[in-house]
C-alpha cells in the first residue's frame, strides 16, 4: 500500500521497526474487537468483515516487512557501486603530501593521514592532540571548532631545536552521529618554513654584506683620496698604499665569496643531502690539499685515523669545505712546528660523538655549537681536529659560530679571516642533520668535532646506548 | 621490564583520565614554551606590545596549573593509584609546578622588554638570543620526552644542562666587562643580565623536568644511575 517500489530495495532498520509496530497495532485491534464481540457490543457480521479487513492489512504490512528484509542482500550490488565515492576520496587523503588530521571530542586524534603522522611524529595509536602538538593557539582553535564555532587559521613557529614556521587551518566538521558532540575539528598543516627563511635570509645577507664591506671600502676610498691628492708624486707612499689596497680588495673578495657560500648553504639548509661520503678518504684529500701551507710553517698533519672508515650521508663538496675550514683554522692558529691531529671515528651515538671521553685538561671548556635532536638508534661518523694552539678563552666559545665573530687579537693582521668560516661549518653541519662541538683549554689546544649521520640500515648498532666504544687512542 | 606508560588499564575510565592528565600537562607545557618563545622574540624584535601580551598570558598558565592540580588530587583521592599510575600523578604534579615557574620567568623576561628597548640596541642581543635558543630546545626536547615517555631523551637534556651554564657564564663575563668599560651599557646590561639569569633558571627547570620524566618512565633516580661529569665551575663573580 504505502510501499513505493523504488524504496523497496533498501528498507532501513527504522522502516522495518515501524512496519512491525503496524502489525502489532493491528493484532491489538483484533483482540479488542474480539472482546467487544464477546460482550455483545458488536454484531457478528460487522465483526467478521472488519476483522478480515484488519487481518488483510496486517498481512500486507507483514509481507512487505519480510520482503524488505529479504531484499537487502540483493541490494548490495548498487551499494558497492555507490561506495567507491568515499573510498577514492579516502585513498586521495591517504596519499596527499599535506598533513591532515581529524580531531574528535576531548582532543583525541581520530584520523591522521601518513603525511600528518610523519610531520608530527605520531605513532599508530590514536593519541591526544596536545601530546604531539602543544601549540596553545592551535589547541584553542581546535577546542573552538569542537564546540562548533567558526574555523580559524593560526600560525605557529618553533625556533629550537629546529626552526619551523607552520600555518594550521582548523575547520569544524559536523558529523552525522548521535550524541552531544557532533563536531569534529579538521586540521590542515602547511609548512611555511622555506618562504619565511628565504625572506629573512635576504634581509640578513644585505645587512651583513653592507656592514662588513663598509670597513674595507672606507679604507680604499681614503687611500684613493690620498693618492689622487697629497701623495700623487710620492713614489714610495704610492707603492705602499697600492699594496694595502691590494690586501683590502682581496679581503673584500674573500668576504663576498664566503657570504655567497654561506647564503647558499643557508638556503638549502632544510633540504637534507642524499649522497654518501667516506670520511677518512675525505680527510686525506683535504690534508693533501693543505699540506703545502702546513709544510711552510713546519706543522705536522697527523692523520691518526684510529683505523676507522666511516661512510656518512652527505654532500662531498660541502663536507670537504667543513673539514678544510677546520684544518685550515687549526693551521692558521697553531704555532710553527706543532702537530695537528685529525681523527675519524665511526658508529657513535650522538652524545659520544659530541665530545671525546677524555678532557684536554680537567677544567677545559666544552660547548656544543649545534647538534641534532636525539635519536637513540642513529649512529654518527665523527671527524675530530685537535691543535696545539693557544686555545680559546671559555667566554668566547659560545660565540665561535657567530657570523663575523673573531676572537680578540685576531681581528687584524695578515692572518685575519672573514669570521665566516665556522658559521659556514655550522650551517653545513645543520643541513646534514649532524653536530658541531668544541673543546678548548687556553695554552693547551683546541678540539673541534663535527659528526654526520651514518645512513640507517648500512650498519647494525654495535653497542647499546650505555656501552660506548672506548676512545683509548685519542687522549 | 618496565611497563609502557600507556599500558591498558582494567578500569578504562581511569586510564583515560591518566591519559588526559598527561595531555593537559603537555598542553600547559606548550603554553609555557610559547611564552618563553614570545618573550625572547619580543626582546629581539623590540616589540613592547608582544611583551605585554606575554605578561598577561601568565595568568592563564597559573589557572591551568590550579585546574591540573585539582585533577591530580581528585585522581589520588578517588583511584588511589599505585606504581606507574602513582608516578604519573606525582610527576604531573611536579612538572606543572616547574612549568608554572618557567612561565613566571618568561613573564619576568617580558616585563624587562619595555625598559630594555628604551636604550639603544646592543651587540649582546645575539648572545642572549643564542642562549635562548639553547634553553628553548632543552625545554622542547624535555616536553617531547614527557609526551612520548622517552627516558633517553630526558637523560640527554639532563646531561646538557652544562651547555646552558657555559652560555650563561660567557655572557655574564662579557656583559660585566662591557658595563665596566662603558657607562651607557650599565642600564641595558643590567636588564640583559637578568634576562640571562632567567633563561638559565628556565634551563634548570627543564633539567628538573628531565629528572621527573626519567623517574616517571623508569622509576629510578637519574642522578643515582648516571654520574655527572665535571661541571663547569662557577666563576668568582657569583
| Cβ separation A399–B24 shorter than 8 A | no
My answer on whether A395 and A459 are in the same domain is: yes
Q: Based on the structure, what is the number of domains in chain B?
A: 1
Both A299 and A335 in one domain: the answer is: yes
Residue in the structure block whose three cell numbers are 628556565: B202
The H-or-E segment that residue A110 falls in is: strand A109-112
Q: Does A276 touch chain B (CB under 8 A)?
A: no
- Chain B neighbors of A359, CB-CB under 8 A: 230
User: Min CA distance, B188 vs chain A (Å)?
Assistant: 20
What digits encode the pLDDT tens for the residues A85-105? 678 888 888 888 899 989 888
**pLDDT reading at B140 higher than 80:** yes
In the numeric block, which cell numbers belong to residue B172?
655574564
Q: How far is CA A234 from CA A218, A220, A221, A350, in A?
A: 22, 18, 18, 62
pTM score, whole prediction: 0.71
More confident residue, B193 or A45: B193
Q: Is the dihedral of CA B165, B168, B172, B174 positive or negative?
A: positive
Same domain? A219 vs A141: no
pLDDT class of A80 with cuts at 50, 70, 90:
very low
Band of pLDDT at residue B226, cut at 50, 70 and 90: low
CB contact (8 A) between residue B33 and residue A134? yes
pLDDT at A218 over 70: yes
Co-location of A247 and A319 in the same domain: no
Please give the torsion angle defined by the CA atoms of residues A114, A122, A140 and A194, in that order, rounded to the nearest 10 degrees. -60
Helix (H), strand (E) at residue A462: none
Q: Measured between alpha carbons, how far is A447 from A356 in angstroms, rounded to an integer?
A: 9
pLDDT over threshold 70, residue A406: yes
Answer whether residue B195 is part of any domain: yes
Instruction: Identify the CATH number of the domain in which residue B176 sits.
Output: 1.20.58.220
Q: What string of DSSP letters covers B88-138?
A: HHHHHHHHHHHHHHHHHHHHHHHHHHHHHTTSPP-TTHHHHHHHHHHHHHH
Test B170 with A399 for CB contact under 8 angstroms. yes
- Which is nearest to A394 in space by CA: B234, B132, B190, B178? B234
What residue in B sits closest to A363 (Cα-Cα)? Answer: B232
- Per CB distance under 8 Å, which residues of B are interface residues toward A? 6, 19-20, 22-24, 26-27, 29-31, 33-34, 37, 126-127, 130-134, 136-137, 140-141, 143, 147-148, 152-153, 156, 159-160, 162-163, 166-167, 169-171, 173-174, 230, 232-233
Domain with A92 in it: what CATH number? 3.30.450.20
Do β-strands A183-191 and A164-174 pair in parallel, antiparallel, or remain unpaired?
antiparallel
**Residue bearing cell 646531561:** B159
Report how far residue A355's alpha carbon sits from residue B163's, in angstroms, rounded to the nearest whole number: 12
Q: What pLDDT is attached to residue A465?
A: 39
Q: Which pLDDT value is given to residue A449?
A: 92
Contact criterion met (CB below 8 Å) for A444 and A360: yes
Give me the phi and psi of A313, to 5 degrees please.
-85, 125
Cell of A337: 712546528
Q: Kindly state whether A132 is in contact with chain B, defined as any CB-CB distance less than 8 angstroms.
A: yes
Distance CA A326, CA A344 (A): 14
Residue A461 predicted with pLDDT over 80: no
User: Cell digits for A369?
Assistant: 655549537
Residue B143 Cα, gap to closest chain A Cα (Å): 9
Please, what is the end-to-end C-alpha distance for chain B in angstroms?
44
Cβ separation of A395 and B126 shorter than 8 Å?
no
Place of cell 588530587: B73
Residues A307 and A257 in one domain: no
Distance in Å, alpha carbon of A305 to nearest chain B alpha carbon:
27
Residues 6+ apart with CB under 8 A from B95: B25, B29, B146, B209, B212, B213
Q: What's the half-sphere exposure (Cβ side, CA atoms, 13 Å) at A270? A: 14
Chain A residues close to B233, C-beta within 8 Å? 363
Report the chain A residue with the minimal C-alpha distance to residue B35: A136
Question: What's the pLDDT at B213?
Answer: 93
Nearest-neighbour CA in chain B from A463: distance (Å)? 15
Q: Using a CB-CB distance cutoff of 8 angstroms, which residues of chain B are in contact with residue A139?
A: 27, 30
Tell me which chain A residues have a C-beta less than 8 angstroms from the C-beta of B159: 351
Check A135 against B34: CB less than 8 A apart.
yes
Q: Which of A128, A135, A351 sits opposite B23 (nearest CB)?
A: A128
> Sorting pLDDT into bands at 50, 70 and 90, what band is B89?
very high
Residues A461 and A368 in one domain: yes
Mark which of A144, A159, A191 sits at the end of a domain.
Answer: A191
Residues B132-143: what's their mean pLDDT? 92
User: Are both A324 and A386 inside the same structural domain?
Assistant: yes
CATH code of A229's domain: 1.10.287.130
Structural domain containing residue A136: 83-191
A112 in Cβ contact with A101 (< 8 Å): yes
DSSP letters, A171-198, are: EEEE---SSS--EEEEEEEEE-HHHHHH
Please provide residue B9's backbone torsions phi and psi, each rounded to the nearest 5 degrees. -110, 155
Assess whether A120 and A264 both reside in one domain: no
Measured in angstroms, the CA of A94 and the nearest CA of chain B are apart by 24
Into how many domains does chain A fold?
4
Name the domain boundary from A242, A270, A298.
A270
pLDDT of residue B132: 92
Rounded to the nearest 10°, the torsion over CA A361, A284, A457, A355 is 10
Q: pLDDT value at position A473?
A: 38
Count Cβ neighbours within 10 Å for each residue of A244-265 and write b for 16 or more, e otherwise.
Answer: ebeebeebbeebeebbebbbeb
Q: Is A128 on the interface with B (CB under 8 A)?
A: yes
How many residues comprise chain B?
238
B132: chain A residues, CB-CB within 8 Å: 159
Interface check A351 vs B, CB under 8 A: yes
Indicate whether A260 and A156 sit together in one domain: no
Instruction: Tell whether A182 is within 8 A of chain B (Cβ).
Output: no
Q: What distances in angstroms separate CA A353 from CA A162, A219, A426, one per listed residue?
A: 20, 45, 16
Place of cell 618557567: B102
Phi/psi for A113 (5° steps) reads -80, 165
Q: Among the listed ranges A41-50, A334-343, B83-92, which one has the minimum average pLDDT value?
A: A41-50
**CB-CB under 8 Å, A359 with B230:** yes
Contact B29 A367 (CB under 8 A): no
Give A 72-111 residues with CB within 8 A of chain B: 106-107
Same domain, A175 and A236: no
Q: How far is B118 from chain A (nearest CA, A)?
A: 23
Domain boundary among A243, A270, A297: A270
Looking up cell 647538534 gives A371
Residue B149 structural domain: 12-225
* Alpha-carbon distance values, A414 to A244, A247, A332, A411, B215 (Å): 11, 9, 10, 10, 56
- Same domain for A351 and A457, yes or no, is yes
Name the 3-class secondary structure at A379: coil
Mean pLDDT, to the nearest integer, of B68-93?
90
Q: What stretch of H or E contains A278?
A: strand A276-278
**B200 near B125, Cβ under 8 Å?**
no
**Residue pLDDT, tens place only, A154-201:** 988 887 667 788 899 999 988 887 777 788 889 999 988 878 877 877
A64 and A129 in a single domain? The answer is no
Tell me the residue length of chain A.
Answer: 475
Residue contact B162–A366, C-beta within 8 A: yes
ipTM above 0.90, yes or no: no
pLDDT bucket at A228, cuts 50 / 70 / 90:
confident
Q: Which residue out of B12, B54, B136, B140 would a mutagenesis test of the A interface target, given it has the greatest number of A Cβ atoms within 10 Å?
A: B140
Angle between helix A316-332 and helix A421-431 axes, rounded to 10 deg: 150
Among residues B47, B196, B185, B200, which one has the least CA distance to residue B126?
B196
Question: Would you say residue B238 lies in a domain?
Answer: no
Amino acid at each position: 500500500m504505502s510501499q513505493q517500489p523504488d524504496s523497496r530495495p533498501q528498507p532501513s532498520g527504522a522502516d522495518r521497526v515501524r512496519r512491525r509496530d503496524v502489525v502489532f497495532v493491528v493484532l491489538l485491534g483484533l483482540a479488542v474487537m474480539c472482546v467487544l464481540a464477546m460482550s455483545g457490543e458488536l454484531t457478528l457480521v460487522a465483526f467478521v468483515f472488519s476483522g478480515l479487513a484488519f487481518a488483510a492489512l496486517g498481512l500486507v504490512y507483514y509481507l512487505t516487512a519480510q520482503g524488505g528484509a529479504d531484499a537487502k542482500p540483493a541490494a548490495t550490488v548498487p551499494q558497492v557501486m555507490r561506495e567507491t565515492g568515499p573510498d577514492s576520496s579516502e585513498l586521495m587523503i591517504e596519499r596527499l603530501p599535506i598533513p591532515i588530521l581529524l580531531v574528535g571530542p576531548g582532543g583525541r586524534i581520530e584520523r591522521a593521514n601518513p603525511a600528518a603522522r610523519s610531520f608530527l611524529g605520531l605513532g599508530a595509536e590514536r593519541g591526544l592532540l596536545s601530546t604531539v602538538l602543544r601549540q596553545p593557539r592551535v589547541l584553542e582553535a581546535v577546542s573552538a571548532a569542537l564546540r562548533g564555532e567558526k574555523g580559524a587559521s593560526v600560525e605557529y613557529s618553533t625556533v629550537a631545536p629546529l626552526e619551523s614556521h607552520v600555518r594550521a587551518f582548523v575547520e569544524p566538521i559536523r558529523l552525522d552521529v548521535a550524541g552531544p558532540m557532533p563536531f569534529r575539528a579538521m586540521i590542515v598543516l602547511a609548512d611555511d618554513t622555506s618562504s619565511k627563511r628565504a625572506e629573512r635570509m635576504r634581509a640578513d645577507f644585505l645587512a651583513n654584506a653592507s656592514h662588513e664591506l663598509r670597513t674595507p671600502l672606507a679604507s680604499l676610498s681614503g687611500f684613493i683620496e690620498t693618492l689622487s691628492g697629497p701623495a700623487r708624486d710620492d713614489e714610495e707612499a704610492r707603492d705602499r698604499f697600492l699594496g694595502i689596497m691590494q690586501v683590502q680588495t682581496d679581503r673584500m673578495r674573500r668576504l663576498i665569496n664566503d657570504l655567497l657560500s654561506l647564503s647558499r648553504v643557508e638556503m638549502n639548509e632544510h633540504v637534507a643531502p642524499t649522497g654518501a661520503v667516506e670520511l677518512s678518504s675525505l680527510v686525506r684529500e683535504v690534508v693533501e690539499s693543505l699540506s703545502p701551507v702546513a709544510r711552510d710553517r713546519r706543522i705536522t698533519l697527523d692523520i691518526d685515523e684510529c683505523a676507522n672508515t666511516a661512510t656518512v650521508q652527505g654532500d662531498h663538496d660541502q663536507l670537504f669545505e667543513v673539514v678544510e675550514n677546520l684544518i685550515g683554522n687549526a693551521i692558521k692558529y697553531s704555532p710553527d712546528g706543532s702537530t695537528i691531529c685529525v681523527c675519524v671515528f665511526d658508529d657513535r651515538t650522538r652524545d659520544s660523538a659530541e665530545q671525546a671521553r677524555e678532557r684536554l685538561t680537567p677544567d677545559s671548556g666544552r660547548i656544543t655549537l649545534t647538534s641534532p635532536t636525539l635519536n637513540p638508534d642513529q649512529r654518527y661518523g665523527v671527524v675530530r681536529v685537535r691543535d696545539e694552539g693557544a686555545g680559546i678563552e671559555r667566554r668566547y666559545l659560545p660565540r665561535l659560530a657567530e657570523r663575523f665573530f673573531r676572537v680578540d687579537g685576531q681581528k687584524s693582521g695578515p692572518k685575519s679571516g672573514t669570521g665566516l668560516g665556522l658559521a659556514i661549518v655550522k650551517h653545513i653541519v645543520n643541513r646534514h642533520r649532524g653536530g658541531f662541538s668544541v673543546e678548548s683549554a687556553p695554552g693547551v689546544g683546541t678540539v673541534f668535532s663535527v659528526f654526520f649521520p651514518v645512513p640507517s640500515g648500512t650498519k647494525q648498532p654495535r653497542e647499546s646506548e650505555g656501552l660506548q666504544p672506548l676512545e683509548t687512542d685519542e687522549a | 621490564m618496565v611497563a609502557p606508560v600507556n599500558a591498558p588499564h582494567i578500569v578504562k575510565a581511569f586510564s583515560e583520565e591518566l591519559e588526559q592528565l598527561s595531555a593537559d600537562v603537555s598542553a600547559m607545557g606548550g603554553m609555557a614554551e610559547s611564552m618563553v618563545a614570545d618573550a625572547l622574540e619580543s626582546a629581539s624584535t623590540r616589540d613592547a606590545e608582544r611583551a605585554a601580551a606575554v605578561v598577561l598570558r601568565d595568568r592563564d598558565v597559573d589557572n591551568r596549573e590550579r585546574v591540573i592540580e585539582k585533577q591530580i588530587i581528585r585522581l589520588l583521592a578517588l583511584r588511589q593509584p599505585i606504581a606507574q599510575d602513582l608516578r604519573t600523578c606525582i610527576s604531573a604534579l611536579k612538572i606543572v609546578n616547574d612549568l608554572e615557574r618557567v612561565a613566571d620567568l618568561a613573564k619576568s623576561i617580558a616585563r624587562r622588554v619595555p625598559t630594555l628597548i628604551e636604550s639603544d640596541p646592543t651587540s649582546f642581543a645575539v648572545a642572549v638570543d643564542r642562549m635562548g635558543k639553547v634553553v628553548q630546545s632543552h625545554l622542547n626536547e624535555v616536553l617531547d620526552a614527557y609526551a612520548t615517555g622517552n627516558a633517553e631523551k630526558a637523560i640527554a637534556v639532563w646531561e646538557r644542562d652544562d651547555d646552558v651554564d657555559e652560555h650563561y657564564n660567557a655572557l655574564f663575563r662579557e656583559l660585566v666587562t662591557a658595563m665596566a668599560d662603558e657607562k651607557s651599557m650599565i642600564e641595558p646590561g643590567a636588564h640583559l643580565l637578568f634576562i640571562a639569569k632567567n633563561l638559565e633558571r628556565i634551563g634548570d627547570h627543564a633539567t628538573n623536568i628531565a629528572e621527573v620524566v626519567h623517574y616517571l618512565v623508569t622509576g629510578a633516580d637519574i642522578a643515582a644511575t648516571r654520574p655527572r661529569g665535571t661541571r663547569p665551575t662557577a666563576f668568582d663573580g657569583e
